[in-house]
Chain A
Amino acid sequence: MIEVKDIYKTFGDNEVLKGISATFQTGKNNLIIGGSGSGKTTLLKCIVGLHEPTKGQVFFEDENFTEMDFTERVPIRTQIGMLFQNSALFDSMTVEENIMFPLNLFTRQSKQEKLERANFCLERVNLKGKNKLYPAELSGGMKKRVGIARAISMQPKYLFVDEPNSGLDPKTSILIDELINELTTEYEMTTVVVTHDMNSVMGIGDHIIFLHQGQKWWEGPHKEIAHTDNKELNDFVFASKFMQAAKSKL
């Protein structure tokens, strides 16, 4: 479980996050949704320590992550897997080397064991045999899947995903969502997904936090999203005519 308490984040005069508190539950897909500039990615980066909150605290289980220095954070960070919006694969390394990279640094496994783990992760994301390709040789969807394979290589307790569907076609988006969902259940991970894709919200949103203007505006499961009278949330979720038409069936 991850808990954020009263998180504020300011960049110069711009207050991006304004006192957000939330709990992200274990074994569930926790979605952070909201319009562009609402502070979703900033919140995610504050949770994982890429940004230091101006005020507030982040707890992984009962450990206060915010108060730890870089070295103290390493044991928690080795339990974190993250998929970035643009996958952030190391472009000088092959697919296999990307997946084995954290294993090389943080485990004492033999080369054979690491190779087996890399192959297992690749098979898990349906990319068996793509070991020797470089990121430049992969499609957008394949890059995302390699990013997921690298994120799960250390068998993390926490999975963070930033905009998993950006730049992907609807079919590939659904495949990525299903993969995230399956892995969350399989490894009993605390998964936090930042998205504004409504398919993801309706498909895998076990627990949704809606941000608006840097504040938490709504929280609940996806089943309740169609029945809320929260105006900002309704404006966001049912912005398209397709979603408006689908609302009556939800």
Chain B
Amino acid sequence: MFQSLGKYILLLQLSFKKPEKFSVYWREVMLEMVSVGIGSLGIISIISVFIGAATTIQVAFQLSSPLVPRSIAGSIARDSNILEFSPTISSLVLAGRVGSSFASQIGTMRVTEQIDALEIMGVNAPGYLISPKIIAGVTMVPMLVIISIMLGITGGYIACIVTGDITPADYIMGVNDGFDGLTVRVALVKAFVFGFIIASICSYQGFYTSGGALEVGQSATAGVVYSCVWILFADLMITSIML
């Protein structure tokens, strides 16, 4: 385990060495940002709307006491979305979608000698392959999480209209009531850290692939599994530190 940690840290060091040519790296960063950001927008939108809607319905179901105002469901759904569902669930889904893609892309390059070809040319392969992915991860995941939060709250609003468990007016009142900016800051810190975890761990798994197609698949699986575990651990740590 310590050997793997050491290799991971050394790989990260190499990844952030000075690039051979900034313009070439910049192009790669842009491509990765499009791939991570635009490419994941569809799945993030779908899960956010549905989770937001389901959360609102469940909270409304549990608020059966006439002493509790119905609008509180909006507040609880909002904070649940901002603090937990949007950053964590989105990141777990992104680990599957983006992380497996990173690991298998780099792993395939390793087993087909494309990484060797980069090194022979004098290119810092970790820098060229991994740093654009990490930059894309730490910038795009927070953006996706912000979109996810907005869509999650919108999903709750739609659920109110469709089911009638809470009136839309009560829901909006609850969403606006007692909003604390700290929750958004916590969500963004989580998203930044989760983006880094997904990109770096999956790239690491891909970079040290050896063998053939079977091992590429195993690297992708390992990347996703380790990313998910570390996302959940980091979620707990950030939550306990910041709240």
Contact = CB atoms under 8 A, between A and B. Distances in A.
Interface of A: 48-50, 70, 73-75, 77-78, 80, 82, 84-86, 88-91, 101-102, 104-106, 160
B116 A102 contact: no
Given A86-B113, A88-B113, A88-B114, A50 B120 contact: yes
Overall SS of chain A's interface: mixed
Nearest to A90: B114
A105 B120 contact: no
A78 B121 contact: yes
Nearest to A154: B121
B26 to A, nearest CB: 12
Contacts of A82: 117, 120
Contacts of B123: 105
B124 interface: yes
Nearest to A76: B122
Contacts, number: 51
A237 B112 CA distance: 29
A73 B122 CA distance: 7
A77 B122 contact: yes
B22 to A, nearest CB: 11
Contact of B116 (A70, A78, A84, A101): A84
Nearest to A162: B113
Contact of A88 (B20, B21, B112, B122): B112
A50 B24 contact: no
Contacts of B119: 49-50, 77
Interface in B95-154: 109, 112-114, 116-117, 119-124
Nearest to B121: A102
Nearest to A48: B120
Contact of B20 (A50, A80, A86, A106): A106
B20 A70 contact: no
A91 B109 CA distance: 9
B121 A104 contact: no
B128 to A, nearest CB: 8
Nearest to A78: B122
A70 B122 CA distance: 8
A51 to B, nearest CB: 10
A50 B116 contact: yes
